[in-house]
Structure 1
């Protein structure tokens, strides 16, 4: 698999998002299959593994730790801290904590769960409005000096926050939602990242599964699936967005690839400073996703996708109002 560049950190061009192995998309989990999926990813050259301390209240880091045991030198491990989740319906975040003391304690807990002595990329999951970003990043930089972290990242921030953070310590990557149906980063943060030489890690690059074309009705979701709470998957928004996805399916079929592969290939075509992390907990979907790395898009392909899925055509916000309040615009 070819590589992407996140600042000075080199990663596989496609990573593996592990959140769904522990939470959000239905209670049914299969740890053996999840671990087998991580192993299959590594074997295929997908060595960029993404987790966070809040995924499954620590369960996901422990799961990833077991999966990479004995193969630590083959993977780039990214994790996050600062986002706090409560017992809300759908598992929505309830707040953030970016205090230096919390950062230090969170990292030590993450290292323990992962069973490693350092992480390669450590993100602030959300900016804490009560703590200056300079203080939080200063505390994160101390962990780089201590050898517990190699590179630093931020998640769901705007260009001004990136600049302020980067002035304290080099930021290697920013992670935010980016896909054919989430285009905000293209104006809010990506130009700043490219000016500063910072990479971009799109999460939910398949629109939380919607861009696969396999979701046809809200009834396809399990009762506890968080997507039932998201505006884009409810009411009239669902059908309006489904109409856009159907156009992507048509283009993918004409090219002889799956809708998932076409959507991921679109992101990969945006530059080698982009490393999407599609999430899956099953090997069969992993293999399909990784096939996107071999899809070559022409300029005509890219133009057709832009016309079929215009940036202003998406219906509904990404999250409910409370959670959107934690996302910098």
Structure 2
């Protein structure tokens, strides 16, 4: 077992490694591949390797599959449940036939239904961290969080979190029950939380922050040289910052990062993760392959000097990236 450094995530008592593992890419969503084909055996082996490396903080959601991802995790953690910290999410509505309706549901009765389904699919009697995946615009956040607070009281959930919510929503929610952490896209490629008040409010209230897509949805790796490098059904083809002129403008910035990483003798991925960790934020890079889990975990041992951080941020200041992080419809689903 590795001795990866651990820190408090928020101020409610949750102790996690400085880096987690995003599991979304290990299964399809509604029959489509998010980041290309996945292999169940390799995905499970990756989760086992992550534990060896000290990366025992796993992030999933009932949306992924739907439900298939949680079931995959159940297989991977069987017999070792107590060695893992499991985070899952709800809020994208899934009907009784296990189909996504693509609506949002934060109603208290749905919260109770969703948690019981996730507990069953994960093969556990308690979820370590339970997130609202997206705000339901038709249900007051106070009602949703009130129901989540009841799950903590009943012992089904230890800690609660929110994903992709505004500073104002965080304040409202935290008054109902202490929020342990907020999860949002954040990376050298997506620094909006620094601008929109989210990072300020979590700091003020003692709430943790988890960064998904900390390697810019794989763009920072440098393995994607043209928009045609994405597989035909890869959802990144539909993201404005990976299209046309935007793609090539952003690629120039990636190339500058590569030069910095090369000078230090590590990969661009490791540089991107080390930058997030230096901010006191937990990155949850997603991978389904053994070779990448080791590369990602090694980033936890990299220390960037204040001068290096300043240099990196001068190349990639907030707002420099061309194109939105989601398409128009998906951006409307985010509480801003």
TM tier, smaller? over 0.9
Question: Are residues 1:21 and 2:29 paired?
Answer: no
Return 5+ residue gaps in structure 2 as ranges.
none
Structure 1: distance between partners of 2:35 and 2:204: 40
Deviation track 1:42-62 (CA, whole Å, cap 9, x = no partner) reads 111011000000101110000
CA deviation after TM superposition for structure 1 residue 27, in Å: 5.0
| Matched residue, 1:318 | 325
| Matched residue, 1:216 | 225
Deviation track 1:236-279 (CA, whole Å, cap 9, x = no partner) reads 110011111011001000111100000000000002xx211000
Structure 2: distance between partners of 1:305 and 1:298: 11
Structure 2: distance between partners of 1:175 and 1:26: 20
Residue in structure 2 matching 1:77, options 78, 86, 108: 86
2:227 and 2:244 in contact (8 A); partners too: no
| Matched residue, 1:238 | 247
1:25 and 1:222 in contact (8 A); partners too: no
Question: Are residues 1:198 and 2:207 paired?
Answer: yes
Structure 1 vs Structure 2 CA RMSD: 1.4
Deviation track 1:125-144 (CA, whole Å, cap 9, x = no partner) reads 01111000000000111111
Question: Are residues 1:142 and 2:150 paired?
Answer: yes
| Matched residue, 1:89 | none
Structure 1: distance between partners of 2:61 and 2:101: 13
Structure 2: distance between partners of 1:38 and 1:93: 29
Structure 1: distance between partners of 2:324 and 2:70: 29
CA deviation after TM superposition for structure 1 residue 304, in Å: 1.1
CA spacing shift, 1:93–1:294, aligned 2, 3 Å? farther
1:10-159 paired onto structure 2 within 5 Å? 10-23=15-28, 24-26=33-35, 28-84=37-93, 94-159=102-167
CA deviation after TM superposition for structure 1 residue 26, in Å: 4.4
1:26 and 1:223 in contact (8 A); partners too: no
CA deviation after TM superposition for structure 1 residue 93, in Å: 9.0
CA spacing shift, 1:27–1:239, aligned 2, 3 Å? closer
CA deviation after TM superposition for structure 1 residue 94, in Å: 3.4
Regions of 4+ moved over 6 Å: none
CA deviation after TM superposition for structure 1 residue 25, in Å: 3.0
Structure 2: distance between partners of 1:180 and 1:10: 25
Structure 2: distance between partners of 1:259 and 1:227: 19
CA deviation after TM superposition for structure 1 residue 310, in Å: 1.7
Deviation track 1:92-113 (CA, whole Å, cap 9, x = no partner) reads 9933111111110000000110
Residue in structure 1 matching 2:181, options 161, 173, 177: 173
